[in-house]
Amino acid sequence: MSLSLLTSCLPTFPVDTAAVLGGAWVGADLPESRAAWPRQCLQTPVLAPHPLSQECWVLQGALPVHAGESEGIAWRRGGDLLFGVIAIDEATVTAQAPHTPLQQAAFGAYARIFRLLDAQGLPHLWRLWNYMADINGESQGLERYRQFNMGRGDAFEAGARSVVGRVPAACALGVASGPLTIAFMAGPTPIVPVENPRQVSAFLYPDRYGPRSPTFSRAAVAHPPGQEILFVSGTASIVGHQTVHAGDVRAQTAESLDNIVAVLGEASAKSRSGAYALGDLGYRAYVRHPADLDTVRDVLESRLGGAPVVYVRADVCRSDLLVEIEGQALRGLPA
């Protein structure tokens, strides 16, 4: 069995649906029909190279794929790999003060995810994709991203999971509207966490960034049978714990890439498959202002050596950040 990631700009995938573990749909319009596999749907414009982007994690091999639904999570499992998607409409959440609806939704979503992992005997989260509406907005005196971090961190602790050190790779972005939606990949073995020597680890941020620090590693290395996957979390123009180059999208994009280079250096030292360079990954770049697309693309194309990039309109977790970049690479391991 091996895992691959396919990307398509078409509304359908030329692939055997029985072999699909899960995936994502990103575009201004939602799909007309429900997919046969767990699919995270993000109704936000794709700025380039096409107006629609679909990602599909596909299993190769004779292993059967099992599907199910658990507490609102659509999931599929192939061997010891699990992919799931959950979406929670905040309007349906009854929150008790001092908790906000988003905080309660985040806690509830992660609590359900942890119960599913325990039931499947696959306790280790590898990668998470988190999206919510109005991420930089404020309610009840607290920015919504910080509310999300409180609910997520509380769920990790309630589920007896660590909130520092060996935590999964992740991103958290804002879209114009829609539910809190979380996609995840999990497996039987812990990830190898990767941090950035240029940055304070996100889970150790000072309290000026909120009552709870974010719960993610800068990157994670995972090892399905015979493979290595490098997940690089959403990466922005932060040095230490502070935003740098406020208002300068070109400099922020370059700084984000400098941070990814530093992460790849650390990941290379922990890799079983050899060193990683910028051109070895596929990327998704989140751009706050569509007018900045040409500048962001110019910087990335000059440094990524032809590596594939999908550009998406989204809000980054800090209001002064203009761009965020994430990536992944899949490799086979020597027999």
Instruction: Provide the token pair at 221.
Output: 């290395």
Rg of the chain on CA atoms, in Å: 18
Cβ contact 84:68 at 8 Å: no
What gap in Å lies between CA 208 and CA 223, rounded to an integer? 36
Write down the catalytic residue from 228, 255, 266, 324: 324
* Catalytic annotation present for 324: yes
Angle at 239 between CA 237 and CA 245, to 5 degrees: 45
User: Strands 65-70, 73-78: parallel, antiparallel or unpaired by DSSP?
Assistant: antiparallel
Q: Which residues are part of the catalytic machinery?
A: 324
